[in-house]
Amino acid sequence: MRTRKRFNKVMHWQEPDRIPNMDFGYWGETIAVWHKQGLPTYVKTNQDVERYLHLEGTEIIPSLPVVNGLYPPFEYKVLEDKGQKRIVRDAEGTICEVLKDGSSIPHYIKHALQTRKDWEILKRERLDYTRKDRIGEVKKVVEEAHAVGMPVRFHSGSLCGWLRNWMGVENFSLAIMIQREWVEEMMEHLTEMTLYLIEKVLPGLEVDMAWWWENMCFNHGPLISPKLF
């Protein structure tokens, strides 16, 4: 049984030959430790790991070539070199301090989205969902994936997760309580973007899954209360 059939049987409450292991993402340091423990050194990327271990996670499942979110992204730029650390502007416009080896969570210095004015610029320049170049050759990707027994996923985006990334945890936490109308306005635009792309892309395509994400917790519990959720 190939990955797509196995996945769809699970999702439709049918019985597959086995339950697929569908992880995503491994820290670079983890792979380096595995090399010391016997993982061949040619196994370098997340995709390499999944193929080598015969996993079926999201690292190797093809995505439709549809850009949902910031587009174009900010240009990644090194602003200052501090030896083992760098000050950079990342693809989401955040200025942060990172370790050169890519380990650990960045130390955030300034976020791209802080005011309503910032939002209007972001919406106009990077969240125009009618841009035709957001959509690639979707039919070709679906046909090629299904021909080798792989499912295909559509990236449905995020609400809290994106805004938290663009604003920072503290700023977003304050805004959701004292600038509720603005937060709702931003979430409404993000929802409209996803719905627009769904309506433009999915009719007539046999897509196996929609993938969206949120990140509302940290090491001591949720970032928003159950009541607010």
Is residue 221 classed exposed, middle or buried when 0-12, 13-18 and 19+ CB atoms within 10 A define those classes?
exposed
148-193 pLDDT, tens digit each: 999 999 999 999 999 999 999 999 999 999 999 999 999 999 999 9
Omega prior to 72 cis, within 30 of 0: yes
Residues 6+ apart with CB under 8 A from 218: 169
Predicted pLDDT of residue 162: 96
- Tell me which H or E stretch contains 36: helix 28-36
Ranges under pLDDT 70 in the chain: none
DSSP secondary structure letters along 58-79? TTTS-B-SB--SSSSPPPPEEE
**8 A C-beta contact, residue 25 and residue 102:** no
Q: What is the largest CA-CA distance in the chain?
A: 55
Predicted pLDDT of residue 226: 85
